[in-house]
Structure 1
Amino acid sequence: MSSTKSRLQDQVVTVTAASPTSGSDRNVELQYADTKVIGNGSFGVVYLAKLVQTNEDVAIKKVLQDKRFKNPEILFYSNGDKKDEVYLNLILEYVPETVYRVARHYAKQRQIIPILYIKIYMYQLFRALAYIHTIGICHRDIKPQNLLLNAQTSVLKLCDFGLQRV
């Protein structure tokens, strides 16, 4: 295993998170284990973890909360009941690949991505863009690294809305 990857095995972490289905005033407890770093960037670190309750793989994006935004007129995210936490843990759907890595794999094999797959991926990307544009959001950072891909199911997901403009 490379030195840039870390793993916290056999450690169960319990967090309190807001549930999107039960409203912002109700929290749920989640337990996850078998955590390893799968990516990082200027806004935080992304971990792969397994939810203990469902055995489901999830991505946990740990982002620094900027305390300068604590103001009654500004929406401020909090990590469940831990209002003074420095980091916010976003628990997201895990998608194993990116278009960038898949394209690089094909290039190394001196092959091209089959046109059928390209059409399927582009259709999904255009639907995602059409949706966010209808709700008034401009992504501003479309690139292969921000297009997550499950090669087994051919499902593409748009991610990383850090540079979005409303």
Structure 2
Amino acid sequence: MASASLGNGAAGVGSSSRSAALRGHVIRTSIGGGRNGQSKQICRALAYIHNCIGICHRDIKPQNLLVNPHTHQLKLCDFGSAKVLVKGEPNVSYICSRYYRAPELIFGATEYTTAIDIWSTGCVMAELLLGQPLFPGESGVDQLVEIIKVLGTPTREEIKCMNPNYTEFKFPQIKPHPWHKVFQKRLPPEAVDLVCRFFQYSPNLRCTALEACIHPFFDELRDPSTRLPNGRPLPPLFNFKPQELSGIPPDVINRLIPEHARKQNLFMALHT
């Protein structure tokens, strides 16, 4: 995608897309504020494509997240690798950009789930917090080494969950690296907890995108007085469409959308 540098802004270093379809701003690294809102919007976008459309993006990375540096509104783009995943049908394992590739893909799994997008989102969120990629592997094998250095060596059971056909278990026993040392700065416990939920070796143990949306890490965004670092109002975070809420229990909707936002939405007022 052709782009022109825009320089540093509240959302980090961005580029303006010359493509009419992708005009916006691309996050490369986020070193400023608004990170909670950006992470929340990524999770909401994934909840929509996973649950409403039924597709897996398969290439979540900062370059595919367009952010308006003034409003901090985020758009997920580039669906060139996206696919409807059908249980029992194989998929290519060599997918997703390396730094954001889920470990089951590195282990050669072909029957993976939308949980690979969740792992990638965790990588993006960690990058927002760190200011640099968390797992900067130079090859597929080196990528796995970078993951193990942080999460520790996966157990046989975890490897089986990632790829039942993988039979090699010759890995050095490495202990997990404490998260407070990984980030080398004080983070809210809610941030650490959410990161841990993204980074589970077993795909079925990772949180879903919807579960991430209602995580306490994002509670401050529910406060109507919360503002962006530049003093502007938050981007629209709670303007859910009926199809986004279809099948979601009322108690989850109440956690998903704060009362002040429900009062502003006629649909919500009639259905709660």
Would the TM-score normalized by the shorter structure come out above 0.5?
no
Taking structure 1 as the reference length, the TM-score comes to: 0.39
Structure with greater helix share of residues: 2
Greater relative contact order: 1 or 2 (C-alpha under 8 angstroms, separation 6 or more)? 2
Q: Bigger radius of gyration, 1 or 2? A: 2
Structure with greater strand share of residues: 1
